[in-house]
């Protein structure tokens, strides 16, 4: 269930929360006469639980490395990231939530959210001064908001951890989806190979590239574990999605994480655990 969610406190909503004693000065029509009839000394008011829709901000990595696509992939990383980001916004808004682009728009709860966000992305890319960044801006989201960050996250783990810390400074929760081309995981290269960094002029020429495979795989695993640890430290989720797999797998995983603790801020979750 999407849409409004219980906040585990009294407020505006449709769900019964608790009875409390009637206070002088309140309107008499708030009294629950059936409950009050059981007590000869006081009247009672039926309180409802405060309900509110979630606010989710989405960021999509559009840096140079996201345009990579091997012959094993179904589509470039950038295409998959855009599909997932816009599909997530559509699913959220259809369920009664609000969705927006991190640092670009407020959160909307409008029809045609996909077209609305796509127009904003296109307008930004058309701007002469636009330079795509590997990581989102270090802006602090309010408590209760959520962030969905989609990219290949090939930046230094320390920079990624600093970015997450800034976004979650007030307790905002979030979800990381790392997009990976299958070649980036399997390292199928052999013989004389030249590797080119698409973000810088750097190049690396090696002979017998296959001898680097095990070291590369270990470093990739360490890189991902460092990012996952930074996410876990803030109560965020982290998943890896390969572009040779259907996009629905990543969207379903994201939906699971969004629903896992819906309706609770981190402070309220700790209270429930106790």
233 and 248 share a domain?
A: yes
The string over 225-235, giving b where at least 16 C-beta atoms fall within 10 Å of a residue's C-beta and e elsewhere, is: eebbebbeebe
152 and 268 share a domain?
A: yes
15 and 35 share a domain?
A: yes
Query: What total number of domains does the chain contain?
Result: 2
Instruction: Identify the band that residue 221 occupies on the pLDDT scale cut at 50, 70 and 90.
Output: very high
User: Can you tell me the distance from the alpha carbon of 50 to that of 131, in angstroms, rounded to the nearest whole number?
Assistant: 42
161 and 193 share a domain?
A: yes
107 and 197 share a domain?
A: yes
Is residue 169 over pLDDT 50? yes
Q: What φ, ψ does residue 237 adopt, rounded to 5°?
A: -95, 160
What predicted TM-score, i.e. pTM, was given to this entire model? 0.77
78 and 127 share a domain?
A: yes
Residue of higher predicted confidence among 241 and 264: 241
Nearby residues of 46 by Cβ (< 8 Å), 6 or more positions away: 16, 19, 30, 32, 35
User: Can you tell me the distance from the alpha carbon of 98 to that of 108, in angstroms, rounded to the nearest whole number?
Assistant: 5
36 and 140 share a domain?
A: no
Q: What is the mean pLDDT of residues 49-71?
A: 86
Give the H or E element holding residue 149.
strand 146-151
245 and 266 share a domain?
A: yes
For 272, the 3-state DSSP assignment is helix
Give the H or E element holding residue 48.
strand 44-53
User: Can you tell me the distance from the alpha carbon of 222 to that of 225, in angstroms, rounded to the nearest whole number?
Assistant: 5
Give the pairing of strands 146-151 and 55-60.
Answer: parallel
User: Can you tell me the distance from the alpha carbon of 132 to that of 142, in angstroms, rounded to the nearest whole number?
Assistant: 25
pLDDT digits (tens, 9 = 90+) for 81-105: 999 999 999 999 988 888 999 999 9
85 and 35 share a domain?
A: no
Is residue 270 over pLDDT 50? no
Nearby residues of 230 by Cβ (< 8 Å), 6 or more positions away: 157, 160, 161, 164
Is residue 266 over pLDDT 80? no
Q: What φ, ψ does residue 184 adopt, rounded to 5°?
A: -70, -20
Task: Check: CB of residue 25 under 8 Å from CB of residue 55.
Answer: no
33 and 63 share a domain?
A: no
| Parent domain of 12 | 4-52
Q: Which of 17, 18, 5, 4 is nearest to 49 (CA)?
A: 17
155 and 30 share a domain?
A: no
Q: Return the bridge partners of 179, or none.
A: 241
256 and 125 share a domain?
A: yes
Q: What is the predicted pLDDT for the residue at 274? A: 23
Q: Which of 20, 64, 62 is nearest to 43 (CA)?
A: 20
Which CATH number belongs to the domain containing residue 86 in this structure? 3.40.50.410
């Amino acid at each position: 269930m999407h849409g409004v969610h219980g906040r585990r406190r009294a407020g505006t909503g449709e769900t019964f929360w608790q009875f409390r004693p009637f206070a002088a000065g309140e309107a008499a029509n708030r009294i629950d006469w059936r409950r009050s009839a059981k007590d000869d000394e006081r009247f009672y008011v039926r309180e409802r639980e405060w309900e509110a829709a979630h606010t989710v901000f989405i960021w999509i990595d559009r840096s140079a490395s996201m345009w990579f696509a091997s012959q094993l992939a179904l589509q470039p990383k950038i295409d998959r990231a855009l599909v997932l980001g816009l599909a997530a916004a559509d699913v959220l808004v259809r369920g009664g939530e609000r969705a927006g682009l991190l640092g670009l728009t407020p959160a909307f709860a409008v029809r045609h959210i996909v077209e609305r966000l796509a127009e904003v992305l296109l307008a930004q890319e058309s701007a002469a001064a636009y330079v795509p960044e590997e990581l989102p801006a270090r802006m602090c989201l309010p408590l209760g908001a959520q962030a969905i960050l989609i990219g290949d996250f090939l930046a230094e783990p320390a920079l990624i951890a600093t970015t997450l810390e800034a976004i979650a400074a007030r307790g905002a929760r979030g979800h990381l989806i790392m997009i990976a081309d299958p070649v980036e995981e399997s390292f199928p290269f052999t013989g004389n190979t030249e590797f080119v960094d698409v973000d810088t002029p750097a190049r690396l020429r090696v002979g017998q590239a296959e001898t680097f495979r095990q070291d590369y795989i270990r470093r990739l695993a360490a890189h991902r574990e460092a990012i996952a640890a930074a996410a876990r430290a803030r109560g965020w989720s982290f998943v890896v999605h390969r572009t040779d797999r259907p996009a629905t797998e990543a969207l379903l995983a994201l939906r699971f994480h969004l629903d896992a603790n819906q309706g609770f801020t981190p402070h309220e979750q700790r209270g429930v655990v106790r």
